[in-house]
Amino acid sequence: MFLNAQNSTAKQWEDLSCDRGDVQDLALKCLVCGQFHSTADHWKFMADMPSQPDDLIDDLLKMGAYNQQALDIADSISQADLQKALFLKMAGGGNAKRERLVNELIKQAGGLNEAFRAAFGHRSSEFFNDTIRNSRFTRRQFLRNVAIGAALVTLASCNGQQQASTTPPDKEPIDPANLEKTELKVAFLPITCASPIIMSDPLGFYQKHGLNVELQKYSSWSVVRDSAIAGELDAYHMLAPMPIAMTLGLGSTAFPVKLASIENNNGQGIAVANKHKGQINSAADFKGFTIGIPYDYSNHNLILRYYLASAGLNPDTDVKTIVLPPPDAIAKMATGQIDAFILPDNFTQRVVHDDIGFIHILTKDIWQGHPCCAFTASNAWIEEHPNTFRALNKAIIDGATYANKPENRKEIAAAIAPRQYLNQPVEVLEAVMTGKFTDGQGNNLDIPDRIKFDPYPWKSFATWISTQLVRWDYLPEEKANYQEIGEQIFLTDLARELAEELGANPPQELLRVEKLKFDELDPKQPQAYLKEQIDKFGV
């Protein structure tokens, strides 16, 4: 603020000097500000400057130091948002790790008001108690309080605590010397399913666990698979069925991969083009559709097939499915190349946001709590970097646990929205993360578990996936050793151990009954489940 005032003052002196013509050449440098005018003139000019903060800001408004957009923001921002943003900016100093610690301290204090009281005493609320309205006075008061609050927080952060360690007191600092490698390359696709992998960069979870991760954005799963096999990456964001398919050599050369932890549950949906609005009431109405899926070896494909078959449709003959990179789905629906798609919810919500389509059903209503994406790494890389793998998996489990708390969802939406990550409007991501959204059919919905981030990799997930790979002829039945697939590929015990080290309370069981819309899977009887499906639905 005062820099802007100084620049404005300098501009007025420049205008004044120009009016004097050649007098400027004879002026001496001012002893106060260093400009070319007399010191006496400086004090004469300053005598007319307002001395009260409100009046000073009023003059700054008149001089255009604050543009209309800034004032509109001042009008619309909430008091709580202002407090938190200011506190984090000043106390965090632009350091993501430090900001995360400040967030944790706010929680421990019982909220931001309590944290301010702890820092400034009982008068703290006086600095932020103005309601933001549309009058010039309240905007002025708002700007004044920003200045005062910023100064106070700056002083608070300079009281000798700024150099303190940002490591939480109950955690031992990570010793990078114990890690085989600290500079890592991890793949991701720009979807909300990747939230734990993505947010762990800007929110500091990788740094917390001694790692420097370079996130590499990919557009399609086949490219991630090929880059993994080529050894171009250290670890990967993958669809939950991909480690099974790659390890068993389905669709590519066999390449053993471990599923270390789950990145997200639910969080997908079936979206339909607006031209079909009012015509889609059940899966039976999809007959003849062209439907986009992200990958053959995806739960999107398997859940879609399960849903269509429940209505008597054969997914291989009654509809046409095409594999398309998720970022291409919006354009293909807008141009009429596809009738529907099943993809992560940032795309199902985006078609609503862009008035291209509507949400028919969320996948949580087909299989509640289902896995979508996972954190994975190759067997060979894990064997070569056991400590690094453990630290990386722990960082992502830490991030997923943080993401699973509803109160953190808006923060995460903002963290993953920028161009280098999802490149999506924050309001679209908030709709997915908070579960407060419109479906494009005139309904305003509030579904808190629209997406979840439970990192625990139930081995029964592997069982259901394997039964469906057999059902749709992706996996030969003779290779479907259901128990062995889960035991060899899903690192459930390690995920539990790391979660417990982080203070979480993960399940102790390895398997659970998976409850779907039309049936239940007993993971101890996969063959019976598969036979029952085929007998019941005919496919």
CATH number for the domain that contains residue 353: 3.40.190.10
Whether residue 288 is found in the same domain as residue 354: yes
Are 258 and 400 part of one and the same domain?
A: yes
CA 292 distance to own-chain centroid: 24
d(CA 257, CA 188): 16
Indicate whether 31 and 81 sit together in one domain: no
pLDDT tens-digit readout, 245-257: 999 999 989 999 9
Counting other chains too, the contacts that 103-110 makes at CB distance below 8 Å and 24 or more residues apart are 103/411, 104/168
Question: Is residue 434 in some structural domain?
Answer: no
Domain end among 136, 157, 178:
157
Per-residue confidence (pLDDT) for residue 158, from 0 to 100: 41
Rounded to an integer, the average pLDDT of 475-494 is: 95
Closest CA to 451 of 463, 438, 434, 468: 434
Q: Which has more confidence, 394 or 11?
A: 394
Show the domain range for 113.
75-157
Are 509 and 525 within one domain?
Answer: yes
The residue among 315, 343, 365 that closes a domain is 365
What ranges in 239-340 are assigned the alpha helix state H? 242-248, 299-310, 329-334
SS3 89: helix
Q: Is residue 538 part of a domain?
A: no
Q: 37 pLDDT exceeds 50? A: yes
Residue 321 resides in a domain: yes
Give alpha helix (H) positions in 313-458.
Answer: 329-334, 345-353, 379-384, 386-403, 409-416, 426-434
For residue 514, the cross-strand partners are 521
CA–CA separation, 54 and 140 (whole Å): 6
Separation in Å, CA 296 to CA 236, 241, 284, 286, 503 = 18, 9, 22, 19, 37
Q: What's the total number of domains in the chain?
A: 4
Residue 326 in any domain: the answer is yes
Same-domain status, 240 and 272? no
Q: 236 versus 478: which is more confidently predicted?
A: 236
Spatial distance between the Cα atoms of 217 and 225, rounded to a whole number of angstroms = 13
Helices (H), 1-111: 2-19, 23-26, 39-47, 53-62, 68-76, 79-92, 96-109
Question: Could you tell me if 384 and 469 lie in one domain?
Answer: yes
**In a shared domain, residues 471 and 528:** yes
Residue 247 within any structural domain of the chain: yes
Tokens 């599923």 identify what position? 259
pLDDT band (50, 70, 90) for residue 477? very high
Whether residues 272 and 257 fall in one domain: no
Same domain, 395 and 502: yes
Residue 45 located in a structural domain: yes
CB 450 within 8 A of CB 363: no
Q: What's the predicted TM-score (pTM) here?
A: 0.70
Residues making up the chain, counted from first to last:
539
**Is the CB of residue 237 less than 8 Å from the CB of residue 186?**
yes
Same domain, 342 and 473: no
* Separation of alpha carbons 306 and 539, rounded Å: 9
- Domain check: are 491 and 524 in the same one? yes
Contact call for residues 529 and 539 (beta carbons, < 8 A): no
Is 272 inside any structural domain?
A: yes
Average pLDDT, integer, range 213-233: 96
In a domain, 69, yes or no: no
Average pLDDT value for the chain: 81
Instruction: Indicate whether 389 and 465 sit together in one domain.
Output: yes
